[in-house]
Amino acid sequence: MAVEMRIALRNYGKIDPLKIDEYISLGGYAALKKACAMDKAELIDQVKKSNLRGRGGAGFNCGQKWAFASKADADQKYVICNADEGEPGTYKDRLIMENDPQTLIEGMAICAYAIGATKGYIYCRGEYPQVVAILKAAIAQAREKGILGGFDLEVRMGAGAYVCGEETALIESIEGNRGEPRFKPPYPPVSGLWQKPTIVNNVETFAVIPVIVEKGSEWFAAIGDPAYPGTKVLTLTGDINQRTFFEVPTDTKLNEVIYELGGGIPGGKKFKAVQVGGTSGAFIPENKLDTAIAFDKMAAIDATLGSGAVFVLDETRDLVDVSTRIARFFEHESCGKCAPCREGTMRMYDLMEKINAGEGSPADVALLNKLGRVMSYACLCGLGQAAPAPVLSTIKNFAADYNAKFK
Amino acid sequence: MINITIDGIKTSVPEGSTILQAAATVGINIPTLCYHPDQAVKANCRVCVCEVEGNRLLQAACSQPVAEGMNIKTRSPKVIEARKTILELILSHHPQDCLNCIRNGNCELQDLAAEYIIRDNPFELKIRDLEKDFSTPSLFRDPAKCILCRRCVDACNVIQTVGALGLEKRGCEAMVVPTLGGSLLDSPCVMCGQCIHACPVGAIGEVENIDELLAAIADPDVVVVTQIAPAVRLALGEEIGMETGELPMDVFVAGLRQVGFDYVLHTNFTADLTILEEGNELLKRLTTGGTLPMFTSCSPGWINFCESFYPDLLDNLSTCKSPQQMFGSLVKTYWADKMGIPAKKIFSVSIMPCTAKKYEASRPEMNSSGYRDVDIVLTTREVGKLLRLTGIDFKRLAPSPFDSWMGAYTGAAVIFGATGGVMEAALRTVYEVVTKKELEDVNFQFARGFEGIKEAEIDLDGTKVKVAIAHSLANARKLMDQVRAGESPYHFIEIMACPGGCIGGGGQPITKANAKRIERIKAIYEEDQALAMRKSHLNPEVKVLYDEFLHEPLGHKSHELLHTHYHAKDKKAF
Amino acid sequence: MAYKSIIQNFAGVPGGMLEAFHAVQNEYSYLPEEAIIEAAKAFGVPTAEAYGVASFYSMFSVKKRGKNVVRICESAPCHIAGAAEVVAALEKELGISMGESTPDGRFALEFTECVGQCQATPVITINSKAYLDVTPASVPVILAEYR
């Protein structure tokens, strides 16, 4: 039985997001007080032991990242919240920010204390101006109450670039540059914003930090899948009866999400495929639905949990057409810096368009496979590395759709 | 030291080494395209990717530091396939125009395509529908050929701090463009041509004037006369299969006669002349309260830079024309008269290591002779092509001397080609004029070398003169900002736009690293050392020029022919 | 034009060029050349670099466009929900094609990628305000607000 468990969204619908006192009355900012009385190394160790892994898609151990930044020696450190949320099909961060902005601020303040940072930024995508307004108001309220101490938090807007969800591109954008990723190493915890130690974490990651500090690492580590514990906010879109969001423990299975929580496929149609994790996720066929959403379990079926978007497609959908639309997305969003992505995303779209128009052949599919494979390990950043995944997964799992289109 | 294995070879390298550097220590050359030894690492072409054991992702050798125990494969099948695919992607978006391209035979993309045996490209050929930009007389851009390595952007923004080039848009639509996406002429481009050296392919080059030259040579009514800049000969050998400095001057002259030049003269003659005029101008400013510090004015890229970025400091510039332009105004007046050749029959050519000189020759005010003083400028590269066209074996060609009246020169003129050379040449003469004593050691060591800014206080028998030398415009800016703030301690400043001075100019053989510039600088001082006459004021032909024609430095005739003025340029630059 | 004063408000903000450009666009709907040059001056970068920033982000336009920017999402979830029909309705209602502006300067019509309202596809935004579950029938009603 799939059951919702709200940690990141614990205050959803219970408080007025623009009234900080309501957040406080539900226990808000008690965790920050507790954290600031702890030894920093001990605090970081708690976060590490909780095994909280990044909720933006990369899944790196949060506490481990904080430890790197904490160890780094610098006159200034930064905490950045990645609220770019560009992944199509995803709006979970908007939900958190629109309904409970203070949990994000509290999480960032705890991080700032832990690593020794006094300045923070929330990088919010430009397409969410109403969210930016809420965040600014919430920060002003927290500042007025004296809660943040010496932690200076600022909101910056993106301007329409999916690639700025990549942490180093995001950093470049805050620096006022084109949002082009940097090569790594060096990694941001060592050298990030203006070359200073920087932690970049997703909204959802920060949102659960106060609860982990309050209730302890063991409590969190015991929820869901042990290798990827806690909960995940999922946003369901496409051919699904419940086109809405759910927060579930990470050992919840895909079939439970789709049929129990999601209410199944509308119009009595049959399931065909689900793309999990956003537009760079693999398309998963029916025979793989008995898989938990946890990061490593998804990797085992060549899929990804990513942002937690769940995009369901029924039997009437043409996966070549959908994959073509996705290939066009990556051609648009490639930053253009590295050759294999700049050229490769263009070529993937050209080939998909050709196949989709009925002009393609098995040789084109073979070329897509080779190109996608090379991109997946030669591109400079995650965008280019992941862009081929949807196309390659549909070629592998839904060959019939392609065969139907050949000349 | 870090212990690694690379292609099966066990070795130790210093901590902080990249895979690229580590590989070089054991003689393994990893191919690169966007990497440039004098610029920040970019890691954007991904050509240098290598396999590192334990990592599914390939690592760019230019950016990945080695770690203890790393096991690297630079040529595994996975790597070769990745490199070939990346090259195929770049090549299929690149005009297949090699036969007509200015970089045919000297192109990094060609070299890689050959090395990686690219035959049938599986990607359909797509060429960007972008027009060529021939808006300036010096440089052209062919954006369809751009491979977006961004080496030109770094050269323009970081080394030269001109900022005429930048990126536009993103993804497959991304392109390198001049400011605001306009033409090169509308941008702050100073035409120094450093972008040409940075470009691995034919996306930027010089505007060639070879056709005009060949037409003039073919015309029996036209007398084709050329001057040669001091930085040309030593580098020209690099264009015809010789070492830097190996081509003897008199064989070069003979070669030019084979190409069809009627008279071969030397810019060094007017370099010596410039020292007389400029040295006296400096002394005049020093003693009569003129605008100080005085800047040299022989680098047209620097003049363009001053006009665009520091128009408030134009009065500091020496009013002397460059040696090229002094030559041009004299060859159609003084020299024409002495030779009994009608000025209107003379086609005045200038062979330069410089691209900005093409623009300089076209400046409207450069017509003091009553005609265009310099009709065309050819770069060292263009002359290299002409010499190759003759098909001659330069190791067997009989030498030939310069022609008269404007062909004699001293070592002081020769060193104009290196950063610090104009300063040293000026000091050799100014010393003797002020102290009235003979300068025994003509070598001013402080002025030599690749240091970005060099300075000294010279004691002229009690009179102290503070001088500074800068090369590359980033360094020029530092000195200029000081002057603008009223904080400059100097009396005289030499500025060369190009790194290393003219030997590194935009028209030289494609210069891939500063190491080559340093090699050329060495050749220049060796040439100076070997000459008997090393002070400009001892040049016998210059003496004749003053006796018969100019009468005195800064005199009426000099002002008419050898001095000029400048104009502020509004290039939306700062 | 008042670009200078708008941009000067952000001159002290490290990396504040994007904020400055948003502020200029709130007034003028696009980034005029003069504004880009002012931004370059204010942030101490070459004009070419400021232009590179302005032309990188899809929310910024360096070309003049209509005052009310109508954007329709073409990402996969909106695509399968019927975005194509809404595109046709928008083009018909405004009398222009995607990528163009109306002659009276009132509207600009553009594609955008996902705007994060995937619970109610298809989605359009006008000046970043989201309109949900859009159908061809609701297009004239939505646009009427801005006429």
Q: Which of B192, B195, B502, B527 is catalytic?
A: B502
In 3-state terms, what secondary structure has residue B547?
helix
Q: Which of B277, B281, B424, B541 is catalytic?
A: B281
Q: What is the pLDDT of residues B467-524, one digit of tens each?
A: 999 999 999 999 999 999 999 999 999 999 999 999 999 999 999 999 999 999 999 9
In the residue annotation, B357 being an active-site residue is answered as: yes
Residue numbers of chain C with a pLDDT score lower than 50: none
How many whole angstroms separate alpha carbon A37 and alpha carbon A31?
A: 10
Q: What is the pLDDT of residues B70-124, one digit of tens each?
A: 999 999 999 999 999 999 999 999 999 999 999 999 999 999 999 999 999 999 9
Mean pLDDT of A329-350: 98
ipTM here: 0.96
Mean pLDDT of A196-221: 97
Task: Show Cβ contacts of residue A61 under 8 Å, excluding neighbours closer than 6 positions.
Answer: A48, A51, A52, A53, A54
Q: How many angstroms separate the CA of residue A280 from the nearest CA in chain C?
A: 11
Question: Residue with structure tokens 């969204």?
Answer: A9
Please, which residues bridge with residue C55 across strands? none
The verdict on a CB contact (< 8 Å) between A343 and B172 is yes
To the question of domain A20-222 being in CATH 3.30.70.360, the answer is no
> Hey, is the C-beta of A329 within 8 angstroms of any chain C C-beta?
yes
> Tens of pLDDT along chain B (574 residues)?
999 999 999 999 999 999 999 999 999 999 999 999 999 999 999 999 999 999 999 999 999 999 999 999 999 999 999 999 999 999 999 999 999 999 999 999 999 999 999 999 999 999 999 999 999 999 999 999 999 999 999 999 999 999 999 999 999 999 999 999 999 999 999 999 999 999 999 999 999 999 999 999 999 999 999 999 999 999 999 999 999 999 999 999 999 999 999 999 999 999 999 999 999 999 999 999 999 999 999 999 999 999 999 999 999 999 999 999 999 999 999 999 999 999 999 999 999 999 999 999 999 999 999 999 999 999 999 999 999 999 999 999 999 999 999 999 999 999 999 999 999 999 999 999 999 999 999 999 999 999 999 999 999 989 899 999 999 999 999 999 999 999 999 999 999 999 999 999 999 999 999 999 999 999 999 999 999 999 999 999 999 999 999 999 999 999 999 999 999 999 877 7
In 3D space, the residue among A74, A110, A97, A64 whose CA is nearest the CA of residue A193 turns out to be A74
Q: How many angstroms separate the CA of residue A56 from the nearest CA in chain B?
A: 20
Please, which residues bridge with residue C124 across strands? C72, C131
The answer to whether B553 and B277 are in contact (CB under 8 A) is: yes
Residue A45 identity: D
**Do B120-206 and B211-562 have matching folds?**
no
Q: Which of B101, B146, B192, B298 is catalytic?
A: B298
| Angstrom distances, CA of residue B151 to CA of A316, B70, B127, B176, C48 | 50, 30, 21, 10, 15
- Residue B486 region by backbone torsions, left for phi larger than 0, else alpha for psi between -120 and 50, else beta: left
In C1-114 the beta strands, taken as DSSP E runs, fall at 68-73, 107-112
Mean pLDDT of A24-48: 97
The answer to whether B289 and B443 are in contact (CB under 8 A) is: no
pLDDT at position B556, please?
Answer: 96
In the residue annotation, B34 being an active-site residue is answered as: no
The answer to whether A348 and A327 are in contact (CB under 8 A) is: yes
Residue B98 identity: C
Count other C-beta atoms under 10 Å from residue B548's C-beta: 12
Q: How many angstroms separate the CA of residue B59 from the nearest CA in chain A?
A: 7
Residue A191 has pLDDT above 90, yes or no: yes
In the residue annotation, B98 being an active-site residue is answered as: no
Q: How confident is the model at residue A58 (pLDDT cuts 50, 70, 90)?
A: confident
The verdict on a CB contact (< 8 Å) between C48 and B157 is yes
Provide the CA B97 distance to its chain's centre, in angstroms. Answer: 26
| Torsion of Cα atoms, B380 then B383 then B385 then B387, to 10° | -130
How many whole angstroms separate alpha carbon A17 and alpha carbon A98?
A: 7
- Mark A369-393 as b/e (b = at least 16 C-beta within 10 Å): eebbbbbbbbbbbbbbbbbbbbbbb
Task: Show Cβ contacts of residue A180 under 8 Å, excluding neighbours closer than 6 positions.
Answer: A163, A169, A172, A335, A336, A337
Residue A175 with chain C: CB contacts under 8 Å: 14-15
pLDDT at position C1, please?
Answer: 65
Q: How many angstroms separate the CA of residue B135 from the nearest CA in chain A?
A: 27
- Top-tier CATH class for C68-144: alpha beta
- Top-tier CATH class for B120-206: alpha beta
Dihedrals phi, psi of B30, to nearest 5 degrees: -90, 130
Pair of tokens at residue A266: 């509308």
Closest partner residue to C48 (CB to CB) among B165, B169, B170 is B165
Q: Name every residue in A having a CB less than 8 A away from some CB of B.
A: 161, 178, 183, 185, 331-340, 342-347, 350, 367, 370-371, 374, 377-380, 385
The verdict on a CB contact (< 8 Å) between B180 and C47 is yes
In 3-state terms, what secondary structure has residue A53?
strand
> What counts of helices (H) and strands (E) characterise chain A?
18, 11
Q: How confident is the model at residue A1 (pLDDT cuts 50, 70, 90)?
A: confident
Name chain A's partners: 3 or more CB pairs within 8 A: B, C
pLDDT at position A84, please?
Answer: 97
Q: Is the dihedral of CA B145, B150, B156, B160 positive or negative?
A: negative
Q: How many residues does chain A have?
A: 407
Delimit the domains of chain C by residue range: 2-56, 68-144
In B289-322, alpha helices (H): 300-309
Task: Show Cβ contacts of residue B293 under 8 Å, excluding neighbours closer than 6 positions.
Answer: B316, B468, B483, B488, B490, B491, B492, B493
How many whole angstroms separate alpha carbon C122 and alpha carbon C75?
A: 10
In 3D space, the residue among B502, B512, B239 whose CA is nearest the CA of residue B381 turns out to be B239
- Beta strand pairing status for B346-352 and B71-73? unpaired
Mean pLDDT of A268-290: 97
Peptide bond into B293 cis (omega under 30): yes
How many whole angstroms separate alpha carbon B441 and alpha carbon B437?
A: 12
Mean pLDDT over all residues of chain A? 97
Count other C-beta atoms under 10 Å from residue B518's C-beta: 15
Please, which residues bridge with residue C68 across strands? C107
CATH (residue range B2-75): 3.10.20.740
How many whole angstroms separate alpha carbon A207 and alpha carbon A52?
A: 12
How many whole angstroms separate alpha carbon B187 and alpha carbon B182?
A: 7
Cβ under 8 Å to C: A residues 126-155 = 126-130
Mean pLDDT of A50-72: 92
In A267-338, alpha helices (H): 295-300, 319-333
In the residue annotation, B183 being an active-site residue is answered as: no
Closest partner residue to A367 (CB to CB) among B93, B122, B172 is B122
User: pTM of the predicted model, to two decimals?
Assistant: 0.97
Cβ under 8 Å to A: C residues 55-94 = 56-60, 74-77, 79-81
Count other C-beta atoms under 10 Å from residue B568's C-beta: 12
pLDDT at position A57, please?
Answer: 75
Residue A86 has pLDDT above 70, yes or no: yes
Q: What is the pLDDT of residues B152-188, one digit of tens each?
A: 999 999 999 999 999 999 999 999 999 999 999 999 9
What 8-state DSSP symbol labels residue B550? Answer: I
Containing A129, the helix (H) or strand (E) segment is helix A129-144
In 3D space, the residue among A343, C74, C68 whose CA is nearest the CA of residue B171 turns out to be A343
With pLDDT > 70 as the criterion, what percentage of chain A qualifies? 100
Residue A168 identity: T
Nearest CA in chain A to B124: A347
In the residue annotation, B365 being an active-site residue is answered as: yes
Task: Show Cβ contacts of residue B287 under 8 Å, excluding neighbours closer than 6 positions.
Answer: none
Dihedrals phi, psi of B415, to nearest 5 degrees: -75, -5
Nearest CA in chain C to B154: C49
> Hey, is the C-beta of C52 within 8 angstroms of any chain A C-beta?
yes
Name chain C's partners: 3 or more CB pairs within 8 A: A, B
The verdict on a CB contact (< 8 Å) between C46 and B170 is no
The answer to whether A80 and A121 are in contact (CB under 8 A) is: yes
Domain range A319-403, its CATH number among 3.90.1580.10, 3.40.50.360, 1.20.1440.230, 3.30.70.1380: 1.20.1440.230
The verdict on a CB contact (< 8 Å) between B163 and C36 is no
How many whole angstroms separate alpha carbon B430 and alpha carbon C13?
A: 51
Homologous superfamily of B211-562 in CATH? Fe-only Hydrogenase (Larger Subunit); Chain L, domain 3 (3.40.950.10)
Task: Show Cβ contacts of residue B220 under 8 Å, excluding neighbours closer than 6 positions.
Answer: none
Q: How many residues does chain C have?
A: 147
Q: Tell me the fold of A225-314.
A: Ubiquitin-like (UB roll) (3.10.20)
Best of A98, A325, A383, A393 to mutate (most C CBs within 10 Å, chain C): A325
Q: How confident is the model at residue A106 (pLDDT cuts 50, 70, 90)?
A: very high
pLDDT at position A255, please?
Answer: 97
What 8-state DSSP symbol labels residue B75? Answer: S
Residue A55 has pLDDT above 90, yes or no: no
How many whole angstroms separate alpha carbon C107 and alpha carbon C68?
A: 5
pLDDT at position C120, please?
Answer: 93
The verdict on a CB contact (< 8 Å) between C121 and A94 is no
Pair of tokens at residue C112: 């955008």
The verdict on a CB contact (< 8 Å) between B45 and A338 is yes
Q: How confident is the model at residue A214 (pLDDT cuts 50, 70, 90)?
A: very high
Delimit the domains of chain A by residue range: 20-222, 225-314, 319-403
| Angstrom distances, CA of residue B212 to CA of B47, B134, B537, B569, C59 | 40, 16, 36, 29, 49
Delimit the domains of chain B by residue range: 2-75, 120-206, 211-562
pLDDT at position A2, please?
Answer: 87
Residue B178 with chain C: CB contacts under 8 Å: 48
Size of interface B-C (CB pairs under 8 A): 52
In the residue annotation, B438 being an active-site residue is answered as: no
In 3D space, the residue among B461, B433, B457 whose CA is nearest the CA of residue B444 turns out to be B457
The verdict on a CB contact (< 8 Å) between C18 and A157 is yes
Pair of tokens at residue B19: 């895979």
